[in-house]
Structure 1
Amino acid sequence: MITREKIGGIIGTAIFMILLFLILLFSVFTLSFPPEELEGIPVMFGTTEDAFGIVEPPITEITPAPSPEIPPYSPAEPLITQTTEPTIDVEAQREEERRRAQLEAERRAREEAERRRKEEEARKREINRQMSGLFGESSESRGNTEGEGTQGVSTGNATQGSPSGNGGIGSYDLGGRSLGSGGLIQPRYTVNDYGTVVVNITVDPAGNVIHTEIGRGTNTPSATLREEALRAARSTKFNAINSANNQQGTITYRFNLN
């Protein structure tokens, strides 16, 4: 049975709880924000590793440098882009160097060939000039055909412009041995050139020339004169001797323009 004392106790307890809740609501549960300048825990890291004294030096405020302003993008301005990455092709560079070296070698070869051609033409002009002055003024003529000048051929060796001749004149040296019945075979003189050709010969006991080669003392670069001298030397016969050994000597051919 509920008595008046119990009802009074319940009401008193309820009022006390309400008051306690109000007190807690406005005192304990009210958030208090600390002042802005006291936020965090200040820590002084200092500016040097070692120092002495009791007076704190003034703090120097560091003002950050202003960042550069970036102009706004304009669609009319072209974009700077890189589509390919430059690389160094070593093999291509080497190939280009080889090509340049080959071109330079070909150019030098052409220049050398041109120089030799000009020297050959100058030499031939000088020969013609000397030949034209051998027999007096160039206005005089000698021959049995037509034209002006002195008629002759490159194979002649006469001093009066003979239209024929017996080729170059030769001499030999074979340690006292004599020539055979055919004598010293003369080379054919079919080119407009001159010079001396020395032929080294090897002769067997029967008198046959079994080996020939161009020897020291040759002063003409003409391949035709050299070949003709070698051919004539191989065709020459010497006297037979009673020996088992081969003999070496020389035949000298002098080709003269007359």
Structure 2
Amino acid sequence: MGNCHNQHLLFLFLLGAPALALAQKLPCQKSTFVGLESDPIYTFNWTTDNVEICDNGALCQETVLMIRAGRTNTAVLATKGCSSEGTPAITFIQHSPPPGIVTISYNNYCEDPLCNNREDVYEIWPAAELEGPATLHCPTCVALGTCLNAPSLPCPNDTNRCYQGKLQVTGGGINSPLEIKGCTAITGCRIMSGIFTIGPLWVKETCPFKSLTPRKVESGAMWLPTSDWRLELPLLLLLPLLVH
């Protein structure tokens, strides 16, 4: 009698196993967007009706990377969907804050049904800064692909150099090159601040090689600007040898 009862419980357990496995498959919003927005706070709509069912153990994710140079359009690269990696958390990074070129990223990993449901970027995208009297002008553009036109525009206060570089963004259903030119206070090829993994996105930053043109600093020493800040210290150490 006891064996029969145990077999009946085992049958009920096995009958419920498929339903339990199905319940573990998380539904997530699914979308990708790559484009230029005049003002993402008001023009970028991150809502979607598309849904995908994730594999067991996967999370929902939503990730956006946004880049602006001056008063040009803003590049927006956004993805939503399932992710087999990550832990539940929200990450917001200002890679290059205002003034000048602004680069921010936002990523949300979550584990509830359709939890990757942010509709806009109102709370995470800064308003454009006002331009003051400027002595520095830089070629300025943000483009998907290559800049076809980069007018020389006045720089905002507290910027002191021109930046020119390219990004290659891949992952999350996105594979897009970008070119960025504009004013900045950041030294070297670092508008991503050395952080190249953003949720499912991977970003490669490259800048053209600059000629070694010495210039004097206040101490009277010579500084050799390079496209890679990691080269500056070895070059400074070599200067006494070059002088003698």
**TM-score higher than 0.5 here?**
no
More helix per residue: 1
Larger radius of gyration: 1
TM-score by length of 2: 0.24
